[in-house]
Each structure stands twice: as structure tokens, then as C-alpha cells.
Structure 1
């Protein structure tokens, strides 16, 4: 018989053979023992973590007549047929090549028939996220109300691509990446059964290169066995995985400590010339930095080290490298790792990182100098600083007394002061568009918008809702809407976001039946714009206010002195903008809406402040 790869020969046949997934395997075994199995399961997780193997073991266990403690016997006729893939009642489907609606409809139709030789018919659909939308819809009803004695097991590496309606009808099990220790234990068991000599440290190198996948680990182990002629050594594992020896890593860190850029670049060139993978090189450096940091902070936790071997050279290096240097190395290499993913010249980035790290200046000397400061100097500096603080406190008390003594004069001076001009670069709203809305604004439109405003915010996306959260409708007409924003930056962002303005208009159409166009204005500029509009249109607004009074109670037509036709705005909506008494309009605007006068009234009370017109 031809040679088979290790991952095929040593594929798990029992739940206890699956490495690193104890919680999942124990749950499935207990469900089988208690006969509380579900009709549909979803196995998710990275590649090579045991999803398909667990599905096949479950199919054997639920149909095995000699099941013991939730494990299949692997001896009976049914277990043997499932292992060899010859049992018609256990159907394994690759969704990557059978992702159409017709294939799923065929499964749905055949699932109605009872199993032929086993107790349960089991469908294992691998890479289920590759199914089309129509195929998912065809599978949905079958998952919701499956035929009797039919079990579906869905496996995928990308669960986020599966509709929530499918996930909610299954029991989901998330397979995690297998730890280095569990991978090493499994490989050690396999090598012992195969009677192949090995070095324990070499298994750690292979396990780290596998990145949590048992299938990848066994494939690399297969290569190492072939490379070393049935002998797995540290050197063989390094050569197969492209990893670096500890001597090379220590040499690189010594170049960083000694600020020897030339030596560091020479080491990089040697490593790259040997054909080492740059990404693996950076990964090894990060892990080695982590091991040094762990050993420095907790020497008794040597079992936590992933790649380092504790020998005299490693101990000496850990005593020489400052902690902040390790932080800098990890941060720089992590940034380099991100940049390398977007370029085809990864060697350039590792060379730049080497130059940066070898020129990193240690701050240990400055720290030592500060720690050696004489106690007399420290006491002297503290005393002088205390005197400065006492002097500043006395000056502050003096200023406070002057403010209290001249309290009556200062408000008057502030009231006469000119208002501050707006800062350069501040957002400038579209005043012309705002005036057009105010001309036809109505109170009913504004009240209606305020009522539905919370519903509108809930309909927006998360990003759009964050922009509109600090907004309030302040005026509205059938075709326009003025929204006040607390922050200028959000106001400008909303004005420039055409998609947001269109979304607001569309959602308002659904809520109130028409779609007014949104105009944004900063909250601090809205009173000024409102007052300017009142001053410019005071005659028309006064005429419109007087128009209802001139109408006869019998419903006769208006007299010739009624408001002009172009003033179409609803008076009730502008009642907040125009004073309701009979005093002169311009005088009320100047007095009541002046920001300085309002501030003075807030500070001292309206009964104390007296307003005099020049």
C-alpha cells in the first residue's frame, strides 16, 4: 500500500483523540450518554482544529450499537463503514463545489427517506459558508422542521458568512486554536507509536509554526521526518519551518544593546541569504522578546516560555536587556509586521526596523542620574517651590478681593463690550436656505418632527446616529428642516455627508409622509441667524401678526391693509421669534436677544440689571 500522510493515518477516531477541544468533546459525549442530542450542529473554528473529525466521530457514536461512555467502538460493522466512507446513511458534502439550490433541494428531498442500515441519517456539510443565498433558504425549512432520525452537522471556518436564521436553528460549537503544549503531546504520542526518535525542543518549533492547527503540525512533522531520515532534531525542525536558532536571536539582541547597526544589518543579510522567511523572522523575534520579558519578571515561571531555552547565554542576555528596550522592540516589530503585509519588499522593512532598533538610545543612564540626586538638593528645590506656590496664592487672593470690591462696575463694562468675532475657519451655515425655510415654517411641522425625531435616529446606521446624536430640530416647513448641532465639527460633517442627508430625507418620508431637506446650523450661531431674520423681515412679520385681528368675526374678507401675500409662514411657529407684546419690535430684539444683556441677567438677576437705550 502506498504511503499515507501522518494527518490521514492518525486522524482522530474517538473524542478523546481530538487535542485541545476538551470542553466540546465532553459536551458531545454527555449528550450521547444522556440521549439529548440535537437535530442540527454548527462546528466553527480555524483550519485543522478537528471540526470534520468531530462530526464523523459523532456520526459513528450516535449509530454505534456498542457505544460506551459516549465513544464509538470503531470495531462494529457500522463504525468501520463510516470510517471508510462506505455507509450510505452518513453523507459528507463539500459545500464549496455543491453550493447551488438544486444540490440542497436534493438533500431536502432525500432526507425524508428513513435510514437504510443505521439508526440516524447524518449529513455533514463542510465549508457551509460557501452556500449561495438561495441554497441557505432551501436548507432553512429543513433545519427548522427536520425529518425524524436525521441530523445535520455544518462545519465552517467563517461563521460570520452564515445567516443568523441558520445559526439560530443549530447548536454552535466554537473550536479554538490548539495550544503548543497539546500539539506537542499529540505529536509525541504519534512519534512513539511510529517508533521515530525525536528531540522534544524540535516539537515546540513545529507546534509554533503550525499556528494552532493540528493538521498543519502533522504535515510539518512529516516533512521533518523525511528531511532527517526518520529522525526529528532541532536542526531539522528549524530548516523545515524556516525558524532561527537561539544563537542568531541572541546575536541580534546584542547588536541592539550595543547600538551596533552594522552588525545588526549583517545578521539580517545572512538570515535572508539563507532563504529564511521574513515574516517568520519577525515572528521569532517577537516571541523571543516576550520570553525574555517573562523570564525577567517571573524567573520561576520557566514553563511559560515558548521558544527560548534557559542556558547561560539566555540568562546573561536577560540581565543585560532593559525592560523599556524590550517594549520598544515588540512595538517596532509589531508595526513592521503590519507594514509587511501590504508590500512585496518585506526585506526593506526589516532592515529599516533593524536600523531603528540599533539606534535606540537607552534612558537608563538618565534615570540613574536622577536617582543619584543629593538629598540636600531635593529638600532645597522643594522649599523654593513651596515659596513660589505661597506667592501665587497671595496674588490670587488679592485679585479676588479686587473683583469683589469692583463687582458692580465690571458687569456694566462687560455689557458695553463688543461681542467676540467668530473664529477663523468656523463653520458657516447656508443662511439663504435657512431664510427660505423660515418664510414658510409652521409650528405643526416642527412639533411633528420633534415627535418622530427619536424614531428617526434609531433608523440611522451606527455611524450616522453618532453624528446626529447631538442634534435638535429648531424650525421646519413642509419642504425644509433646520437642525441645530451642539458641536461645529458634527454640523460640518453632517452638511458634507450627502448620504446622511439623503437617509434623513428618506426616513422622514416613511415616518411623516413627506421628505423635507435638512439644513444644518451650529447651536451657537442659530440665535444670531434667527435674530437677523427677524430684523430684516420685521415689517412683514408684524403685518402677519396683525392680519388675524383685522378679519371680521363673520368671516368677511380681509381689508386692504392685511399682510402681503409673500409672507406665507405660520404665525404660531414664529411666535418664538417675535415678541408678543405691543412694544417696538426692534427695541425688543436689541434688548432681550442681545447676548451680553442675557448673560448679565443670568449673572445678577433681571431685577438688578437695568437696560437703558442710548
Structure 2
């Protein structure tokens, strides 16, 4: 094959060619000049950002005949041999296809032998996170006590999968995503050197579609060059990347702004007719409004825009659409995108979303006119008058009533004591069943795990002790915690909503401190053993079979039920 892909032809051969990773290349160059070379390096970062290329450049610079140098000369036999892959002392090992411990041991067995052609043996292990645990253990022993002539360079896209014992023995360098401007600059250089005529807007579209990866950008550029005729245009880039043109997005946004449902649906039908992916279109539309929001908030941060280019139509649209409406549009589009992932008919969801967007009414803050204030003021004055009358009648009535008993005043003075809703608790106990309580207890842990930390903390020493089909009694160990929980509406709503999601039942929550629960339960059991006519009550009939059998054998007076 005479032809090679652009990313192979233009693979960086010096640190200067590694785009967008100056924080890594500068550190490595200083270490080379000062001859402070580590025995192991870890290069981590997204795909296509130059990890393996930097590893090979480092291997050449270490073994260059003119060392110490900050850049390999690429002229001496060592540099040329490493570039061509003809020097066996520099080994590039693919852990993705050789993940077993046998392959790793086969490589490590040769570590102790001295290099034959260059000064240092360099082992470049790509996708090192794919190694098995046994292979990592074999590698760890060598990293602990490596020979002086061996250097390991580990490259990975998922450093969190590497054992910490391996990471702690390496110098770690994190490669970051390359900015769109840096990718465009590199592609311009390649296009000029290759004699390829490219539209700058096409390069910008390719750079943003690459999502920070230089290899992805060069692959898309290679594909666009093959698709184009004499010049790579914006339309060629849109076709190759599958993205939607800026003009179409402006047209769709205009239809949404003007509430033109017909125009919006016609544009969508035209888009899908040309083979565009509905999922890709809705993603582009979300990014379009995201860029519009960022442009309105910070117009000078053009580099932060991911999808749009600042043309006149976009600037005019951004001035006309208020920020509150952009929030609503993004929320609706995001919800539609989530729904489209779980359906076999994404087009239907997309069409419904376009109709909703065109019929969306922007939320406006409520502003009362001066005429609307007068009835409210009159109502407030009337309520104040009635309140004053109630206070006056209450004082006159209290003057004729006898003085309260000392016991009652003492009881009223303790206002900080939590008073459980005994009546409602008794009603729940009458209808409570063991199956309802089992359902609640089975989902109790998962419910707590889905709450906020501040809400879950209130349930640390609490547990459900009884439940009916419509309510739950929660026992708290401390009275103060019980009072705090029952007085917080956000806590009650969060617990109720979580249980509704897990059990499909809407429960009423009743809290009771542990001390008061014992007395309430004992009184309930005492009052409900027999009905007024002497026959067993309904709750007595529903007692558990083993309790009834024990009472039958030994007599009810000798059986004590302990919860």
C-alpha cells in the first residue's frame, strides 16, 4: 500500500510537534537536559492526544547519540532505528491484546539482559489498564527493583483501573484534550505542506467534531479530502462528521422563536430526508442553545463555544432570545434526548419536541398592576379586622373562665416537648399489617441511599415499626431528632417521594420518640384486646398464629409479647 493515512504520515517526531501538551513536553525536555530520567512514566489522557507518540519521542531522546538533548536529532542510527521499529531494545507492547500474565512474564524475563543497540531498554506498554491482576503483580516486582538500563513508559486512557501500587512507582503525566484552535492550526500546517485546499470553516467544524483528539481530527480530514472534489468545503465537513449545518440550526431556531410549527416540521423532515441521525441532530441543537447561552453570558469567550460559529444570524438570534427561554428550551431538549435513547422510534419524539418548542410560552415574572393591588389590600385589611375581633373575644372569654389547675399549667409550660399524633397513630395500628411493614422495611435501605445526606442523617437512629396501606409509623431514638424530622417539609416530601418511587404507594409519615412509642403501643394493645361486648376485637383476630397458639397452650395471662 503506497498511501498512508494522514495521522500516520504526520505523527509527531519531536516534542515540538506534540500539540496542546506543553505542560508535559516542557517537563520532559527539562528532565532530559538535566539527566534526571525516571525508571517509569505513566502517560494518561483521552484518546488521540499524543501519549504513545510522546513515549516514542522520549525513547529516541534518551537513546540519541547526541544526548543529553531536549529533542531527538532524528538523524543518528538510534533515532532512525527507533522510528522504523528495527531496534529490539525499544519494545512497544499492546496490553489490550496481550493481557495475560504469561505474555507479561515473557517480556519481563528479558528485562535483566543489557541492551544490544542503544544505551537504554525502553518498554512502552500501551493500554496498560487492560492487564490482568496477575500481570500487574508481575510488573510490580520489576518496577520495585528495575535494572539501571531499563525504562518503562505506561500509556492508558483509564488510569483509575490501574492499581495504586503501580501508579505510586511512576511519574504521572496527564494529557488533556487539545483545544479546537490548536487542532485547526495543526491541520492548516498539514494542508499547506500537502498542497490541499481547505476552507477554514471546514477545518473548524472538523476540529470541534474531533472533541479534543488530534488523531480523530486527522482521520476526519482524511475522509473529507477523499469526499471532496478540488477543495474541502464546509458542506464536505458536515457530510463527513454527520453534523447539521449552522444555517439549518439558525433556521430551526428562527422557527422556534417565531412559533412557526409548520416551518419547524418541514425543516426537520428535510433534514431526516438527507439521512441525518435524529440523535445527532438533537445533540447539535442542545449545543447550539448552550453556545447561545454562553455567548449571552460571556461574549468574549469564543473558545468555549463548541458547536456554533459567530455569524450575523447567530448574533441576531442571541439578542432576540431571552435567557429564561433558553433555559426552558435546553430542559425540554435534554428530556427528549433521554427519552429517545429508550425507543425504537426516535423520529416521533423529535417531532413532538419540535411542536412543543414552537408552542413553548416563556415564563415571565408575575408583575401586579396598581389596579390589581387594591383588592389585595382590602382583603388584608378585612383579615386584620377579623383577627382583632378574635383576640378581643378571646380575652373577654378568658376573664370569665376559672383559673386552670396547676397540673394543666405545668403541662402547658412544656411547649418544647414533642407531641405525637396519637389519634392518627392508633388509626394506623388498627389497619397495620405485617406485609405492609415488610414492604417498607425491604425498601428502607434503598430509600435512605437515595436521599440527600442531610435528610438521611435524620434517619440514622430511626426505624419503621408499623405500617398500613396508607401510613407508616417511624420510631426515633431521640425526641429532638424526631421533632426536627417531623417539622421539615422538605424531609417529609423527599422520603414520601422516594418510597412512592420504590413501592408505588403514597405513605403518610408519623413520627414518635422511642419512649412515647412504648406507652402508646402498650395502651393500644390494652384497649384493643376485647371489644365493648366482650368478644375478641378485629386486631385480636388478626394476631399472628404462633402467638394465638401460645395463648391457647399456656393461657393468655402467662404469655408476654415483646416487640
TM, length-normalised to structure 2: 0.72
Q: Supply the distance in 1 between the matched residues of 2:185 and 2:220 (Cα, whole angstroms).
A: 15
Map of 1:470 onto structure 2:
460
Q: Supply the distance in 2 between the matched residues of 1:36 and 1:397 (Cα, whole angstroms).
A: 87
What SS is found at the alignment partner of 1:360? Answer: coil
Map of 2:408 onto structure 1:
412
State the Cα distance separating 1:348 from its structure 2 match.
Answer: 2.7
State the Cα distance separating 1:536 from its structure 2 match.
Answer: 10
Contact 2:61–2:69 under 8 Å retained in 1: no
Whether 1:20 and 2:20 are equivalent positions in the alignment is yes
State the Cα distance separating 1:467 from its structure 2 match.
Answer: 8.0
Map of 1:524 onto structure 2:
513
Q: Supply the distance in 2 between the matched residues of 1:117 and 1:399 (Cα, whole angstroms).
A: 108
State the Cα distance separating 1:50 from its structure 2 match.
Answer: 1.2
Q: Supply the distance in 1 between the matched residues of 2:182 and 2:518 (Cα, whole angstroms).
A: 71
Question: What is the correspondence of 1:202-351 to structure 2 with a 5 Å cutoff?
Answer: 202-299=202-299, 304-351=304-351
Q: Supply the distance in 1 between the matched residues of 2:119 and 2:520 (Cα, whole angstroms).
A: 83
Map of 1:447 onto structure 2:
none
State the Cα distance separating 1:310 from its structure 2 match.
Answer: 3.9
Map of 2:45 onto structure 1:
45
Question: What is the correspondence of 1:475-490 to structure 2 with a 5 Å cutoff?
Answer: none
Q: Supply the distance in 2 between the matched residues of 1:169 and 1:403 (Cα, whole angstroms).
A: 85
Structure 2, unaligned stretches of length 5 or more? 413-418, 435-447, 464-474, 487-491, 503-509, 527-557
Question: What is the correspondence of 1:73-472 to structure 2 with a 5 Å cutoff?
Answer: 73-299=73-299, 304-363=304-363, 370=367, 373-374=369-370, 377=371, 380=374, 384=378, 387=381, 391=385, 394=388, 408=404, 412=408, 419-422=422-425, 470-471=460-461
What SS is found at the alignment partner of 2:109? Answer: helix
Compare CA radii of gyration and give the structure with the larger one.
Answer: 1
Cα RMSD of the aligned pairs, angstroms, is: 4.4
Q: Supply the distance in 1 between the matched residues of 2:167 and 2:210 (Cα, whole angstroms).
A: 29
Contact 1:39–1:146 under 8 Å retained in 2: yes
Q: Supply the distance in 2 between the matched residues of 1:221 and 1:148 (Cα, whole angstroms).
A: 43
- CA-to-partner distance for each residue in 1:68-113, whole Å, 9 max, x for gaps? 6622222221111111111111111111111111111122221112
Q: Supply the distance in 1 between the matched residues of 2:250 and 2:91 (Cα, whole angstroms).
A: 53
State the Cα distance separating 1:171 from its structure 2 match.
Answer: 2.3
Larger deviation, residues 312-321 vs 464-473 = 464-473
Q: Supply the distance in 2 between the matched residues of 1:114 and 1:425 (Cα, whole angstroms).
A: 82
The structure-2 alpha-carbon separation of the partners of 1:429 and 1:193, relative to structure 1 and needing over 3 Å to count, comes to same
Contact 2:32–2:68 under 8 Å retained in 1: no
Map of 2:64 onto structure 1:
64
Larger deviation, residues 22-31 vs 122-131 = 22-31
Question: What is the correspondence of 1:603-614 to structure 2 with a 5 Å cutoff?
Answer: none
Q: Supply the distance in 2 between the matched residues of 1:396 and 1:27 (Cα, whole angstroms).
A: 81
Q: Supply the distance in 1 between the matched residues of 2:386 and 2:83 (Cα, whole angstroms).
A: 86
What SS is found at the alignment partner of 2:11? Answer: coil
Structure 1, unaligned stretches of length 5 or more? 431-460, 474-481, 498-520, 538-566, 575-614
What SS is found at the alignment partner of 1:211? Answer: coil
Contact 1:484–1:522 under 8 Å retained in 2: no
Q: Supply the distance in 2 between the matched residues of 1:463 and 1:249 (Cα, whole angstroms).
A: 39
- CA-to-partner distance for each residue in 1:51-84, whole Å, 9 max, x for gaps? 1111111111222232466222222211111111
Provide the aligned length of Structure 1 versus Structure 2.
Answer: 475
Q: Supply the distance in 1 between the matched residues of 2:398 and 2:189 (Cα, whole angstroms).
A: 87
Larger deviation, residues 247-256 vs 276-285 = 276-285
Q: Supply the distance in 2 between the matched residues of 1:168 and 1:524 (Cα, whole angstroms).
A: 51
Contact 1:48–1:213 under 8 Å retained in 2: yes
